[in-house]
Structure 1
Amino acid sequence: MAQEQLFIGLCDGELDSKKYCSSFLTNKVGGEPDWQPGITRQLPRCGRCSASLAHVVQVYCPLQGSPYHRNLNLFACCQPGCSEQSGSWTVFRSQCVEAPNQSSTLEVVVPSATDWCDSAEDWGAEVGGEDFRSGGDKEVQEQARDLQTKGSPAVCQMDVSSGLQQLSLVESKDIPVFRPFFISVLEESELSGEDDELGHAQELLREYEQREGVALGVPEESDGSGEMYEKTSARHADAVFSRFMKTISVCPQQIIRYCRHRKPLFISKMPSNNSHVVSVCSSCGEPRTFELQLMPALVYLLQRIDSNLAKKLEFGTVLVYTCTNSCWTAGSKFPVEEFCFVQPDPDHELFK
């Protein structure tokens, strides 16, 4: 299978519901999930303590050549000790066929709809890329978001009507909610060879070292061989963690790495029987493939907006595996549950 392009997700400002109309076409952190038309509202609970799960990330990720809209929604438990356990996470995959009369609407909202697809690379470079490199053109970003609210009334109206159809008598006031943020996207290749962004990444890494009281050993100057890094980091971490930190040092603020079919970036050593750890698709029985992972920088971004601010998520990285065939039953009202594997933050073991 051909190797797919790797995309990096970054925080791109707060999603103010009073100004912007969020829909299932929006890539975002937190808030409430925007279910596709016809999909029944889901209220998942923790497999460890049965508490209500908080919505963590929504990703719009249609597959090339597929007639379906496609979303992944990740949920996690905020109770102490739960979020670093795989059984306390849930990921749902939802799909619906693109209606013929939606084509013009989708052209309008394409900035947030196809960030993860080849067709959206230009937008990602102009808006998301500029924001990463030099703070971004705020006017361009505002115009892009205004297109979602002012230029796509059909989408907003569709969301309202579908939401009314999904009203539930299930009590939901105990569901924790995170502050919502837009997600912008870059190709990983755009992060290399830029002196200003490398300098910014090193500054963030130094801040992380000071905050956590650790020395990750990424040198400001090097001959390019990586030898200085390896010698320093080896005193503190195993080879897998060292490789993880070295890879993300170019852009430590990345919150998502997306690349369907490629290998994930592990933060710690995986079990030798990894093929048995990742279960097959519960709907069709086919194997699952890696699709995306949540990164450590997301932990600091997840801010509760409800009354209980003390409870928060803790994790190293969250790996998401989905059905290789992305199977879907036409007319289904329920999303397909996919597979999450959580690797805890290894700091408490590696930095003693």
Structure 2
Amino acid sequence: MPPYDSDSSDDGGDDYSTTNVILGYAVSDPSGDEISHVGGYPSWLDPNHPPPAALAKCKVCHGYMSLLLQLNADLQQHFPHDERRLHVFCCRKKNCSKKIGSIRAFREVRKPEARDKREKKNLIETKPGTPVPDLGTALFGGTGSSSAIDGTNPFSLSNSGAQPTANPFSSIGSPSTLAAKPPQRPVDEPVPLTETFADKLKIGSDRDVNPNNVEVTEHWPEPASVPPPFTSFYLDAYPEELDKEPVELTKAEASKTQYDVDDSGGAGVSQKDDFESELDKTFQKFSDRIAQNPDQVLRYEFKGEPLLYSGTDGVASRFVVPHGKSGAIRGIPRCERCGAQRVFELQLVPGLIYELEKDEAMDLEDGMEWGTVILGTCANNCGEPGTVTFQEEWVGVQWEERVARK
């Protein structure tokens, strides 16, 4: 695990540094992205082929969940021909809080049809008596046939070659033009893309595939059948900027990883003290980092590393080895569909809870109780060519105790 701010890179400024993390912000005004939003209702790459209803249900109570995030997650640098969306849902029932399966996420992907199938389809669909186009054009396409969108995703690394891990927002100084797509309610026909959240991230957007061999017996529920949605907000994206602080750590301290605990080892230091020390240090680092951009609701860095809320729970154990102990980092579970390694892609942070619940009438004891929601996705972006595939992905939730919020 690299040191706490090892992902930061000096952009030459005097007062701040920019990291490879892209931050998402909830905004009320349209930001140019018709797809990415928090709250509201989900929309699909093919409105005629929604996911199976099983993906909409809480694994604890089996009731329908509410949308937390829909993200246009096209990754032009990694998957130039694929359309991708990420959907994160949560159960709002108090009894399901802090239980595995009450927050779920899935990846929606449309891959182009295999070339041999596409060529065969074009030949079969040629009607008798109609002019046959030039064979080269029929098989390989001609001018005007391209449907590719030069989408750039604000939550992904650019391949422009500006820097080793070039940030698409390397020109920092003026407000980012990376836009987050506005929320979109279910519609009967696809809405043409304008500037997508993917455009801002530099992340690049038919038939259903049954995720995890779940028997499909229901179609995705109609809006009237699900709980009232959270208030919907558009998303905007900017690169993470951190204040530069003087280096005050000693060489020994600097050698420790982000989530190490103090190993000074005194006779009066108990295991409980060590545990609490690690917990406090991890949470403090999380709080300090978030505080530099307090309005953020999500953090995006494909193949990056999450900012942990706790250093002692089961989720943390997948990303770090406690100081003084040996062993390999467990990592995120592999993709059940193709067996490929999963990688960190994004995490939701407490600012999202505030935005979604600030206008709702509820007691302080109600509402969401997580510190961060971490999403790991298939590194291969697996899916069936020529169709829309829905695949449930790994979600790691670090929970919090409810505290009074202003």
TM-score (norm 2): 0.57
SS at match of 1:298: helix
After TM superposition, give the deviation of residue 322 of structure 1 in Å: 0.8
Q: 148, 154, 175: which one pairs with 1:115? A: 154
Aligned to 2:107: 93
* Structure holding more helix per residue: 1
Q: Offset at 1:333?
A: 3.9
Give 1:287's match in structure 2, choosing from 333, 341, 354.
341
Q: Is the Cα–Cα contact under 8 Å of residues 74 and 92 in structure 1 kept in the other structure?
A: yes
Q: Which SS does the other structure have where 1:92 is aligned?
A: strand
> Following TM superposition, by how much is the alpha carbon of 1:280 offset from its aligned partner in structure 2, in angstroms?
1.7
Correspondence list, 1:51-200, <5 A = 51-63=63-75, 64-66=77-79, 67-97=81-111, 101-103=146-148, 106=149, 114-117=153-156, 118=158, 121=169, 126-128=174-176, 156=191, 168=219, 170=221, 172-189=224-241, 191-192=242-243
Shift, 1:101, TM fit: 4.4
Identical residues among aligned pairs (%): 24
Q: Is 1:241 matched with 2:296? A: no
Q: Does structure 2 retain, via aligned residues, the 8 Å contact 1:93–1:336?
A: yes
- Mapped to 2, the partners of 1:297 and 1:169 lie a distance apart of 29
The answer on 1:312 being equivalent to 2:367 is: yes
SS at match of 2:385: coil
Contact 2:36 2:181 in 1 (8 A): no
Residue 298 (structure 1) aligned to one of 349, 352, 356 = 352
Q: Secondary structure at the match of 1:62?
A: coil
Offset of residue 343 of structure 1:
0.3
Counterparts of 2:220 and 2:20, CA distance in 1: 43
- Write the distance in 2 (CA, Å) between the matches of 1:175 and 1:334: 25
Number of residue pairs aligned between Structure 1 and Structure 2:
276
From 400, 403, 406, the counterpart of 1:345 = 400
Matched, 1:321 2:376: yes
> How much does 1:243 deviate?
1.0
Q: Judge conservation of contact 2:71–2:85 (CA < 8 Å) in 1.
A: yes
Change beyond 3 A, Cα 1:62–1:125: farther
> Match for 1:31: what amino acid?
G
5+ residue gaps, structure 2: 1-6, 8-18, 114-144, 161-167, 194-205, 207-217, 251-275, 319-328
1:329/1:49 Cα in 2 relative to 1: closer, same or farther (>3 Å)? Answer: same
Q: CA deviation at 1:157?
A: 6.2
Q: Deviations over 1:94-148 (max 9, x none)?
A: 1124795434xx46xx5xx722232763899754489xxxxxxxxxx9xx989x9
The answer to whether the 8 A contact 1:40-1:334 is kept is no
Q: In 2, Cα distance between the equivalents of 1:289 and 1:236?
A: 25
SS of the residue corresponding to residue 300 of structure 1 reads helix
Give the direction of change, closer, same or farther, for the CA distance of 1:255–1:48 in structure 2 (3 Å limit). Answer: same
Please tell me the residue identity of whatever aligns with 1:283.
R
The residue type paired with residue 249 of structure 1 is A
Q: 1:346 to 1:168 in 2, by over 3 A?
A: closer
Residue 28 of structure 1 corresponds to 37
Amino acid at match of 1:40: P
Which whole-Å deviations, capped at 9, do the CAs of 1:271-302 have from their partners, x for residues lacking one?
Answer: 37525573221101222111110001110111
Instruction: Show the counterpart of 1:13.
Output: 28
Amino acid at match of 1:29: V
Alpha carbon RMSD of aligned pairs, Å? 4.2
Seen in structure 2, the aligned counterparts of structure 1 residues 226 and 257 have a Cα distance that, compared at 3 Å, is farther
Q: Which residue of 2 aligns with 1:256?
A: 298
Distance in 1 between the 2:237 and 2:226 partners?
32
Distance 1:123 1:41, change over 3 A: farther
What residue number does 1:133 align with?
none
Q: Is the 8 A contact 2:181 2:235 kept in 1?
A: no
Cα–Cα, structure 1 residues 32 and 52, in superposed 2: closer, same or farther, change >3 Å?
Answer: same
Query: Structure 1 CA distance, aligned partners of 2:100 and 2:343?
Result: 17
257 and 40 in structure 1: CA distance in 2 versus 1, 3 angstrom threshold = same
C-alpha change, 1:346 and 1:235, in structure 2 (3 Å) is: farther
Contact 2:369 2:402 in 1 (8 A): no
Per-residue deviation, 1:88: 0.6
Check 1:344–1:127 CA distance in 2 against 1; reply closer, same or farther (3 A cut): same
The equivalences for 1:262-277 within 5 A come to: 262-269=304-311, 270-271=313-314, 273-274=317-318
